[in-house]
Amino acid sequence: MTIFCQNLKLSDVMVNNLLMEVGQSMCKTILHVSTTNIVMLFISGISWYLGFVLCTFYIWKLKVQRIERTTQLFDRRLYEAAYIDQSMLLNTKYKLEKPSKSEPNQSSDDKVMVYLCATMWHETFDEMLKILTSLFRLDKYKLNMKKDTLDFEAHIFFDDAFTEDTNTQTGKKNRCVNMYVEYLISAFDEVHRVFSSNRKDMFSRTNISSCRQQKIMVTPYGGRLCYILPQGNLLYVHLKDKQRIRHKKRWSQIMYMFYLLGWKLFRKYDNLVEKATDPTEKERVKKDFENEKHNTYVLALDGDTDFQPSSLMLLVDRLRRYPGVGAACGRIHPTGMGPMVWYQKFEYAVGHWLQKSSEHVFGCVLCSPGCFSLFRASALMDDNVLKKYSTKAAEAAHYVQYDQGEDRWLCTLLLQQGWRVEYNAASDAYTNAPQEFAEFYNQRRRWGPSTMANTMDLLHTGVQTAKKNPSLSLLYILYQTLTMGASILSPATVCLMIAGAFSFVFGLDTNLSLFLAILPPAIYIVICFVTKPNTQITIAAFLSVGYAFLMTATFLSIIGGIIKDNTIMTPTGIFLISMSLIYIVTALLHPQEFSLLVYGLLYIICVPSGYLLLTIYSLVNMHIVSWGTRESAAPKTKKTENNKKVKYQKTCKCLCWDVEVQVHENKSTDSEKKEKKESDNSSLMASQSQENKSLVAKQEDFGYEERWITQLQQKSNYNVLQEEALPQEEIPFWEEVIKSYLEPLNEDKQKKDEIERDLKSLRCKVTFVFFMINLLWIVATFFLQLIGSSISIRIPKVYNNGTISTTEFFMVEPIGLMFLLSFAFLLILQFMGLMYHRIYTLVHFIAYTGTEQVKHKVPASQSKIKSTTTDFNIYENPAAIREVDSENVYHV
């Protein structure tokens, strides 16, 4: 180095001067270096580092929220790229500004209330185990939270829970609960026994014989079960009688919104306002009410949803941190086995990876699924949201938009009112997917038309919505318009793709290939208009198999053609390779879901079935407004002379075999439990109040006797159901709500026939416009093919080695190229939105990990259960039971 410095000579003037100055400075330092200088330099560095640590030491004790805003953390929003870590540390504010009291829901110390509301109908025993296990997990997690900043209360609303049974001796009708309610009681006992016991004595005789008293009561809408979970949180099961209250999922949601937000939230502050005499006191109460509205959330669930507490907390973070967010949804994973479930796994994955992520980044999510979504109470109680959501369908289009896709319609109302709907990819939830072809088609028969109706409604009011909602812009409305256009043209695009497959694989003439591609869908449209839905689904299944073989042959032929032509620079080759690369990179960004790419092969060969046949079936049958899934015959009532009780029942389908497995309880064991149960319940039933008797007498006006309470008391083995009366002040509330919004629909035959005619008329109009647009697209492509090369675009052939041919060309129609470029543009746009969303999902996940610390398990010696029964004062003070059961916490 010394020799280099002594012989340093350069020629260029400007560069020489600069390098000479730097070189001479370095050389002087090296040539005149001494031990003293090195020591001083080392001490200076240590001093600088200590000063830097002392200046930024306050950061380690700074209390911030998860996913805090940049403006709240830093003085400046600009950073030094070369020294990013030092810049961020020195730029961090010494003390964060506290939000003003006038801004609700801005402090992480504010306690939030979450109401978990699950709707049930015909769920199986296994599906009920999933949702109950999730609730019990959350109950245990609530005990172990680092900060007591969240309370929750669980509610299950059971549709059509009652059935009639005729007494053979008296001939009088008895009102009983159906077998699905019995499944729920058995499932609750099963899960409650596991979560409220230690592992060592979980199967001991002492544990099995221990019982806990719970509540059962008669209500104006049917019945209610009140359970105390092991850690003191409450679970209410509302049994709906369709003869007393309106049934189906949307009306169950309206029911719990009025009950939780009206009765439990609004009534409390309304009474305080009436009692307050001072205007200042009234203003304070109103502010408290607004703040609690903002900090009260409703988690919408299905009866088969499975989730972890962390998934809920991640959604709570979004609503707690951003006041403008009215709803947030998580990543939904379909569960089950079979080809239909495999298809849906990849379909759900692509929909969340690309579509929901891009919607979250560029605007708002259009649909927050009802199986796992968190809603803000103030958003639901806003003008033109809950009031309009409770509107009864009066026109044919209302039946399609309101009842067939209630979750999408609720989100549409929130967006139009100015609220933001978000998607959190780290919040995972699992739900059962249709495993049968017919069940899948019937489910999408509801989703397809309702999605189109709600999207068209949003686009129709796009200008007004963009002005009112700061998260929506006109560019985003344009993006949704392009997406909607691509969705409408999907059947024609699939037909053109099939025509190309005929021409490519079999070497047929282009016009003949197009005719053969259009013929099966045209015949299927006629079949859907003249035959029953079951016949339509059967024919669609056979056509799907044929199309799958054709798509497989086409896929292999394209690969063979690329190898034969020695080039990938063709429109088909470029499209295929770019699509594959995008999906592979997208899957790599979701490493836990990378294995779903295997199901992508099944998804590709099923494209004609999913985008052509299913679209035809959905539109032609849009006049059918029944649910289509989980429908079964009327549940069989349990015969009194049958000595065997079905404890567990499972039906499995494998090819042509139907296997049914039943587990029965022993007759002697049943009789012993029944005698013990009757002795335990005799004293409890004696305490029934006169108010409850009057309510039962009022319900006996329907012409039957209420026997469901005794039925459930006998069914419940682990929990003792004590009959009590509904609070007297709650009865007028339910009577008023049922009379105003939830009265059963008793439409006469003439009204039903009129609605059916209107729905069929709407079906004809929509299908005519839809298929005419697709036909025009096909006809335009056909005439462009007839004109030939005069208007086609010639693209020279490019070989794999980069050589451009001067004699060989590819002919591409302008419309086809324009559509291909538009689709590629949307896909690239969605991919960019995905990249941006993944970064912020990673930031949120890192911020969440390690912040939810759990408390240490309480030793068994410090906490003993003193009694196997529970005082019902716990319903007024749920925290009282947490100390009693704190030893019974373990991981499941």
**Radius of gyration for the chain, computed over Cα atoms and rounded to the nearest angstrom:** 33
pLDDT of residue 646: 53
Question: From its phi and psi, is residue 160 left (phi > 0), alpha (psi between -120 and 50) or beta?
Answer: left
Give the tens place of pLDDT for each residue, 719-758.
Answer: 889 999 999 999 999 999 999 999 998 777 888 888 999 9
Under 8 Å between Cβ of 385 and 861: no
**867 pLDDT higher than 90:** no
Angle between helices 749-787 and 490-506 (to 10 degrees): 40
| Measured distance CA(370)–CA(300) in Å, rounded | 6
The two three-digit tokens of residue 691, written as one number: 């108010």
C-alpha to C-alpha distances, 615 to 452, 543, 618, nearest whole angstrom? 11, 14, 5
pLDDT of residue 29: 58
Average pLDDT of the residues of the chain: 80
Which is higher by pLDDT, 32 or 76?
76
Where b means 16+ CB within 10 Å and e means fewer, 214-253 reads: bbbbbbbbbbbbbbbbbbbbbbbbbbbbbbbbbbbbbbbb
Residue 568's contacts (CB-CB under 8 Å, 6 or more residues apart) are 562, 574, 577, 800
**863 pLDDT higher than 50:** no
Which is higher by pLDDT, 421 or 891?
421
Q: How far apart are the first and last CA of the chain?
A: 67
C-alpha to C-alpha distances, 56 to 32, 49, 80, 84, 565, nearest whole angstrom? 36, 11, 17, 14, 64
Residue 157, φ and ψ in degrees, nearest 5: -110, 110
Under 8 Å between Cβ of 377 and 733: no
DSSP H or E stretch at residue 541? helix 533-565
pLDDT of residue 638: 43
| Measured distance CA(605)–CA(613) in Å, rounded | 13
| Measured distance CA(740)–CA(246) in Å, rounded | 11
Listed range (252-266, 268-282, 350-364, 433-447) with the worst mean pLDDT: 268-282
Provide the whole-model pTM.
0.80
Which is higher by pLDDT, 841 or 653?
841
- Rounded to whole angstroms, the maximal C-alpha distance in the chain is 120
Angle between helices 125-143 and 309-321 (to 10 degrees): 60
| Measured distance CA(869)–CA(863) in Å, rounded | 16
Closest CA to 107 of 115, 96, 116, 91: 96
Give the tens place of pLDDT for each residue, 584-641.
Answer: 999 999 999 999 999 999 999 999 999 999 999 999 999 988 766 666 544 444 444 3
Most confident of 231-245, 630-644, 681-695, 865-879: 231-245
| Measured distance CA(195)–CA(187) in Å, rounded | 12
Q: Where are the domains of the chain?
A: 2-69, 487-629+752-826
pLDDT of residue 567: 72
| Measured distance CA(315)–CA(844) in Å, rounded | 11
Angle between helices 490-506 and 533-565 (to 10 degrees): 50
Residue 741's contacts (CB-CB under 8 Å, 6 or more residues apart) are 246, 254, 258, 390
| DSSP SS3 for 299 | strand
CB-CB neighbours of 552 under 10 Å: 13
| Measured distance CA(636)–CA(134) in Å, rounded | 29
Amino acid identity of residue 458, one-letter, is L
